[in-house]
Amino acid sequence: MRWLILAPWRERCPGLDSRRTRSPCWKTQDRLFVFFAGHGEVRTIKSGQEGYLVPFDADPANLPLTGLPMAELAQIGRRLPVKHVLFALDNCFSGYAKRRDVVASSETSDLAALTSEPVVQILTAGTEGQRAIEDGGHGIFTKHLLKGLEGWADPEGSGLTALKLATYVQERVIRDSASRQTPQYGKLEGEGEFVFRPPTR
């Protein structure tokens, strides 16, 4: 699995720019985990409201051209020439990335079956109307995401999947925020499952 730092996102990883569709970063069997922690903003457009990711090099006064519309993540993930994509967003109003209907994730324990199909999945810090709560220098979403990735989301060692990670993070963020923040999760495209690591036992 390849890990990339998106700062600034257009320069470091042009494949994530919706204006481009190819990048030398990828291989067809790769799993790509895209984590964004930063600002999110909402702007009114002709059809209603649109949520944007705001990287440090964006112009807040011109987000349609310098920010990344959250609604485009599904299309970006579909275009990337990798097998499995998981977006994790820790920003205000991150639920705008998951406004469309999403496919429920499978609970099967057969990892070979889960990983046989391509997929684009998303895990957001909250709903489209919620702000991301910070604690100890970073968001409570990031806090539990990191703990989940360390292995707390897979205590039985049967394999860490995106579904397990999302369930772990969602339960703890809701608890720690007193239900003021509810992470959202689902599949934007495809029937597979993102697997971080295989069974260890």
Rg of the chain over Cα atoms, rounded to whole angstroms, equals: 16
DSSP H helical ranges for 123-195: 140-147, 162-176
In this prediction, residue 86 has a pLDDT band, given cuts at 50, 70 and 90, of very high
The pLDDT value given to residue 18 = 44
Long-range contacts of residues 134-137, Cβ cutoff 8 Å, at least 24 apart:
135/176
CA 201, CA 194: separation in Å to the nearest integer? 19
- Contact predicate 39/46, CB 8 Å: no
Q: What is the pLDDT of residue 101?
A: 54
**Other beta carbons within 10 Å of 43:** 14
Residue 52 predicted with pLDDT over 90 = yes
* pLDDT for res 20: 44
Mean of the per-residue pLDDT values of the chain: 84
Structure tokens at 147: 């703990």
Neighbours of 46 (CB within 10 A): 5
Beta-carbon contacts of residue 147 (< 8 Å; ≥ 6 apart): 153, 168
The burial of 40, by beta-carbon neighbours within 10 Å (0-12 exposed, 13-18 middle, 19 or more buried), is given as buried
9 pLDDT above the threshold of 80: no
Confidence of residue 24 (pLDDT cuts 50, 70, 90): low
pLDDT band at 135 (very low <50, low <70, confident <90, very high): confident
Give me the pLDDT at residue 13, please.
Answer: 53
Give the whole-angstrom CA distance, residue 189 versus residue 118.
8
In DSSP notation, 82-118 reads SSEEEEEEESTTGGGGG-S--BPPP----HHHHTSS-
Q: Residue 6's pLDDT band (boundaries 50, 70, 90)?
A: very low
The model's pTM: 0.84
The string of pLDDT tens digits covering residues 145-191 is 999 999 999 999 989 999 999 999 999 999 999 999 999 999 999 99
- In this predicted structure, the answer to whether residue 120 has a pLDDT above a threshold of 50 is yes
What was the pLDDT predicted at 23?
54
pLDDT given for residue 98 in this prediction: 81
pLDDT, mean of residues 59-82: 90
Name the pLDDT band for 64 (thresholds 50, 70, 90): confident
